[in-house]
Amino acid sequence: MRRIISILMENEAGALSRIVGLFSQRGYNIDSLTVAPTDDETLSRLTLTTAGDEGTIEQITKQLNKLVEVVKLVDLTEGAHLERELMLIKLKASGAQRAEIKRTVDIFRGQIVDVSMSMYTVQLAGTSSKLDAFIEAVGDVSILELSRTGVTGIGRGEKILSL
Amino acid sequence: MELLSGAEMLIRSLEEEGIDIIFGYPGGAALHIYDAIFQQDAVQHILVRHEQAAVHMADGYARSTGKTGSVLVTSGPGATNTITGIATAYMDSIPLVIISGQVQSHLIGEDAFQETDMVGVSRPIVKHSFLVKKAEDIPEVIKKAYYIASTGRPGPVVVDIPKDLTHPANTFEFQYPQKVKMRSYAPITRGHTGQIKKAVDLIFSAKKPVIYSGGGVILDDASAHLTELARTLNIPVTNTLMGLGAYPGTDKQFLGMLGMHGTYEANNAMHYSDLILAIGARFDDRVTNDPQQFCPDARVIHIDIDPASIAKTIAVDVPIVGPVAQVLTDMLALIKQSKESMDKKALDSWWQEIDTWRSRNCLQYKTDDSDKMKPQQVIETLYKVTKGEAYVTSDVGQHQMFTAMYYKFDRPRQWINSGGLGTMGFGLPAAMGVCFAHPGTDVACVTGEGSIQMNIQELSTCLQYDLPVKIINVNNQSLGMVKQWQDMQYDKRHSHSYMDSLPDFVKLAEAYGHVGMKVDKFEDLESSMIKAFAMKEKLVFMDIYVDPNEHVYPMASPGGSMKDMILSKTERT
């Protein structure tokens, strides 16, 4: 099962490599990973998506919690949560294709952020599955380049991940 | 306030931490530190011959005392040579602090001479590590390092210090922190009362209970608690390889070791039990055999300080995360208050069942199938000669298993071996660490002609510091455990498992300034061993020739359940 794990960790050199190393060392998968500082400059927030059965996920969270630099973590998928991913995608757009792609971008509520004679660069935010759906809709043939940020997320409502 | 250099602050910090001995080897990046060591005498430095051995010595020191062991090495090869030692300590949860010199800060990343990313190289095998950035941070980092290494589930911590930070020209106000507080590291100090209550209820309802206890009991100094619990309830006890000595090996409630080379009674008691009380043990694959077939009727209570050890391989009914000693204290209090008691009738018939397994006498071995001495005889004689009281370290292989099975350890911290990593070359330096910690006591290193050659250079260190280790070299002229598996699973194709051109160990020991003895007849064994142990001041290397074809039995039948065992070359369960 797909999980989104959000981690508050000490903003120190080496902390990220410990987390990533843990996954490769113990044979867990990371499907996506985003990391950036938070409003508290001593902390970074790392969000990763992974998959596994319940036992594996339990081990992953326990092992992560053992890392000295991990201050707090939450499995967002355990409760109601918001998840977003940002994608920049360069699409071939010439002739009749141009209007069709524009329509698709509008349907997905994306934005065209760069234009040339033969291509559009589209910015699209949403859940990973929405991004997947857009990619499917425009079709492989028109994709020139694609860059996704990986998932970031936050719990819904009053639940707060902080110290 | 005193002004000290980074190097001086480091050594003063060790002193403040109560460290009186550090094992190490100098080199370029550590020279400022070594100069600071030269100018003081609070911290004794022990010069080894190879950095791996320094870590094993600190490890043996730590295992035999419960204190944190300390190591000092230089950058590059000095640091990488410690890796096997660190991994050994990590697998067995031994508290160590390894201080490594690093190239100067401005050279890091430039492939400088003797540069290695020590924090990176050691990352998967440390509890934590620090690359010190500023000299002012040294006292705090050292405080944190010893705190992390010794609390919670113990483990090795690496502190990497660039050379410029220890330069004598730069001095700082020194103050050693009295306390340490880390928001992201707070070891659990109490087990959950509700869970302990649940466990007690489950224990009282059990008809066939067994205590399965491991190294965690020794690490938390909880042997007395374990013993009291077992005796109060009259429950049988089995220990893991790491847990031997945590419960008296000569006690009538003790079933022997369990697992891969566990006794017939211990493995059967596990398999047929209806309640396993696991204490400071981690359901290692060498214990469980096939986890799918593990103890089908047993409910499991698991006490461990590390939540990640719980339900890792085996499902648990009542998990209790907490320090073993405290949890057992609470448990005993509840048991004594309780109006309930064990089902005596059920327990009596359980003991009868166990006694039938015991009567199989699984540790019996043949002495008439070869004209050579048997390795088991060596260990039994060692037990007899040392009255069961020596500190015994071992290397890895058949001799290790024979020692675990035939030397009955009555005290915790008496048996010292590399259980998790299985590091050949561990035994001699570990024994040396024990000698430093317990001068004047008998320290035996049971080894083999394969293992001993992996750190034999330390015979030189033994001479320098007068360490009277008794080396019991169980010489079967082959890598016995490898050969045993090849006999059993590879149709006796002995691929690279025999030791050609062995040195003359007697001469070798003499060349290093020690006493060498060769024994190849059982009749001579006991008298020679008595002679060896009578030489209190001397290291004696006993090269004892044994039957090269002996196997270690019982042995778990691979891929089976715990009751599936091979009992001899011709018998299976």
**What CATH number does the domain containing A114 carry?**
3.30.70.1150
Q: Tell me whether A59 touches chain B (CB under 8 Å).
A: yes
Has residue A19 been placed in a domain?
yes
- Reported as a single tens digit per residue, the pLDDT across B320-331 is 999 999 999 999
- Give the pLDDT of residue B489: 94
* Arithmetic mean of pLDDT, B257-277: 98
Contact across the interface for A68 and B131, Cβ inside 8 Å: no
Catalytic annotation on B481? yes
Tell me the nearest-neighbour CA distance from A8 into chain B, angstroms. Answer: 10
* Arithmetic mean of pLDDT, B424-445: 98
Looking at A32, A49, A79, the residue that finishes a domain is A79
Tokens at A43, concatenated: 């902390």
Has residue A162 been placed in a domain?
no
A44 is in which domain, residue-wise? 2-79
Looking at A35, A55, A79, the residue that finishes a domain is A79
Which DSSP string corresponds to B121-178?
HHGGG-SEEEE---GGGHHHHHHHHHHHHHSSS--EEEEEEEGGGG-TT-EEE----S
Has residue A161 been placed in a domain?
no
Has residue A104 been placed in a domain?
yes
Distance (Å, whole) CA B325 – CA B330: 9
Distance (Å, whole) CA B173 – CA B308: 41
Total domains in chain A come to 2
In the predicted model, is pLDDT for residue A150 greater than 80?
yes
- CATH 3.40.50.970 residue window(s) in chain B: 3-173, 375-552
- Say if residue A50 is in the same domain as residue A87: no
In the predicted model, is pLDDT for residue A135 greater than 80?
yes
Which one, of B534, B537, B571, lies nearest residue B467 by Cα? B537
Q: Tell me whether A117 touches chain B (CB under 8 Å).
A: no
Catalytic annotation on B536? no
- Say if residue A28 is in the same domain as residue A68: yes
CB B202 within 8 A of CB B318: yes
Catalytic annotation on B51? yes
* Arithmetic mean of pLDDT, B78-97: 98
- Reported as a single tens digit per residue, the pLDDT across B103-137 is 999 999 999 999 999 999 999 999 999 999 999 99
Instruction: Let me know how many helices (H) and strands (E) chain B has, helices first.
Output: 21, 22
> Which chain A residue has the Cα nearest residue B152?
A66
- Say if residue A146 is in the same domain as residue A88: yes
- Give the pLDDT of residue B368: 92
- Say if residue A33 is in the same domain as residue A91: no
- Say if residue A105 is in the same domain as residue A141: yes
Interface A-B: count of C-beta contacts within 8 A: 35
Q: Which residues of B touch A25 (CB under 8 A)?
A: 124
Q: Tell me whether A21 touches chain B (CB under 8 Å).
A: yes
- Say if residue A57 is in the same domain as residue A74: yes
Q: Tell me whether B187 touches chain A (CB under 8 Å).
A: no
**Parallel, antiparallel, or unpaired: how do β-strands B21-24 and B209-213 relate?**
unpaired
CB B66 within 8 A of CB B93: no
Which of 3.40.50.970, 3.40.47.10, 3.30.9.10, 3.40.50.720 is the CATH number of B3-173? 3.40.50.970
- CATH 3.40.50.1220 residue window(s) in chain B: 193-358
3-state secondary structure chain A: CEEEEEEEEECCCCHHHHHHHHHHHCCCCCCEEEEEECCCCCEEEEEEEEECCHHHHHHHHHHHHHCCCEEEEEEHHHCCEEEEEEEEEEEECCCHHHHHHHHHHHHCCCEEEEECCCEEEEEEEECHHHHHHHHHHHCHHHEEEEEECCCEEEECCCCCCCC
> Which chain A residue has the Cα nearest residue B123?
A18
Which DSSP string corresponds to B511-539?
HTTSEEEEE--HHHHHHHHHHHHH-TTS-
- Say if residue A108 is in the same domain as residue A135: yes
Smallest Cβ distance to A68: which of B184, B306, B312?
A: B184
- Give the pLDDT of residue B237: 98
**Residues near A64 by Cβ (< 8 Å), separated by ≥ 6?**
A5, A7, A19, A22, A70, A73
In the predicted model, is pLDDT for residue A141 greater than 90?
no
Q: What does pLDDT average to over chain B? A: 97
pTM: 0.96
- Residue B500's pLDDT band (cuts 50, 70, 90): confident
Q: Tell me whether B440 touches chain A (CB under 8 Å).
A: no
- Say if residue A24 is in the same domain as residue A75: yes
Which of 1.10.3470.10, 3.40.50.140, 1.10.150.20, 3.40.50.1220 is the CATH number of B193-358? 3.40.50.1220
Contact across the interface for A21 and B123, Cβ inside 8 Å: yes
- Say if residue A55 is in the same domain as residue A103: no
Has residue A163 been placed in a domain?
no
Q: Tell me whether B119 touches chain A (CB under 8 Å).
A: yes
Catalytic annotation on B198? no
- Give the pLDDT of residue B404: 98
CB B183 within 8 A of CB B320: no
Has residue A157 been placed in a domain?
no
Task: Tally the C-alpha atoms within 13 A of residue B137's C-alpha that lie toward its C-beta.
Answer: 13
- Give the pLDDT of residue B2: 86
Q: Which residues of B touch A70 (CB under 8 A)?
A: 184
* Arithmetic mean of pLDDT, B218-234: 98
**Cα dihedral B23, B27, B33, B38 sign:** positive
Q: Which residues of B touch A54 (CB under 8 A)?
A: none
- Give the pLDDT of residue A163: 84
- Residue B1's pLDDT band (cuts 50, 70, 90): confident
Has residue A112 been placed in a domain?
yes
Catalytic annotation on B499? no
Which one, of B556, B551, B555, lies nearest residue B369 by Cα? B551
- Say if residue A50 is in the same domain as residue A97: no
Q: Tell me whether A13 touches chain B (CB under 8 Å).
A: yes
- Residue A13's pLDDT band (cuts 50, 70, 90): confident
Q: Which CATH superfamily is domain B375-552 in?
A: Thiamin diphosphate (ThDP)-binding fold, Pyr/PP domains (3.40.50.970)
- Say if residue A12 is in the same domain as residue A73: yes
Contact across the interface for B184 and A13, Cβ inside 8 Å: no
- Give the pLDDT of residue B38: 98
* Arithmetic mean of pLDDT, B518-532: 98
Say which residue the tokens 């048991």 belong to: B335
Q: Which residues of B touch A55 (CB under 8 A)?
A: 311
CATH number at residue A33: 3.30.70.260
Has residue A160 been placed in a domain?
no
- Say if residue A40 is in the same domain as residue A109: no
In the predicted model, is pLDDT for residue A142 greater than 90?
no
The active-site residue out of B2, B40, B110, B113 is B113
CB B290 within 8 A of CB B560: yes
3-state secondary structure B447-484: EECCHHHHCHHHHHHHHHCCCCCEEEEEECCECHHHHH
Residues 255-314 of B with CB under 8 A from A: 306-308, 311-312
DSSP letter, residue B185: B
Tell me the nearest-neighbour CA distance from A56 into chain B, angstroms. Answer: 9
Which one, of B454, B474, B351, lies nearest residue B406 by Cα? B474
Looking at A48, A79, A110, the residue that finishes a domain is A79
**Residues near B546 by Cβ (< 8 Å), separated by ≥ 6?**
B372, B373, B374, B375, B377, B378, B474, B475, B476
**Residues near A63 by Cβ (< 8 Å), separated by ≥ 6?**
A22, A26, B308
* Arithmetic mean of pLDDT, B257-276: 98
Tell me the nearest-neighbour CA distance from B130 into chain A, angstroms. Answer: 9
- Give the pLDDT of residue B233: 97
- Reported as a single tens digit per residue, the pLDDT across B367-402 is 999 999 999 999 999 999 999 999 999 999 999 999
* Arithmetic mean of pLDDT, A88-106: 93
